[in-house]
Amino acid sequence: SVGLPCISPTSYQQLIRVCSHNGDLDRAEKLLMDMCSDGLIPSEVEFNGLIHACTRVGDKERAEVYFRMMEERGIVPDLVSYNSMI
């Protein structure tokens, strides 16, 4: 993980959001992996952050991978998900 003890899902959401807004896709992806390693289940919030990060760096194909991954995990894409994909 990012070196913080007992990091909460909300903290992961905020960290992924910051990475997303800064176009730091690699760090956002690592945070998602850390979250899963910590036994937490990502929601549409984390996936939307990753999709947004992908589009900020111009990687539409990677955004589509995360969009499909959301659906495969049973997470229903929301308006933010679809807007990010446009």
Q: What is the pLDDT tens value at each position of the chain, 86 positions in all?
A: 455 566 888 999 999 999 999 989 999 999 999 999 989 999 999 999 999 999 999 999 999 999 999 999 999 999 999 998 88
Question: Of 30, 34, 43, 40, whose CA–CA distance to 73 is shortest?
Answer: 43
The token pair at 82 is 């679809």
What pLDDT, on a 0 to 100 scale, did the predictor assign at position 68?
Answer: 95
- Which whole-number Å values give the CA distances from 61 to 35, 67, 79, in the listed order? 23, 10, 19
What pLDDT, on a 0 to 100 scale, did the predictor assign at position 47?
Answer: 95
pLDDT digits (tens, 9 = 90+) for 14-35: 999 999 999 899 999 999 999 9
Q: Which residues contact 12 (CB under 8 A, 6 or more apart)?
A: 31, 32, 34, 35, 40, 42, 46
What pLDDT, on a 0 to 100 scale, did the predictor assign at position 7?
Answer: 83
Integer Cα distance of 7 and 25 in angstroms:
20
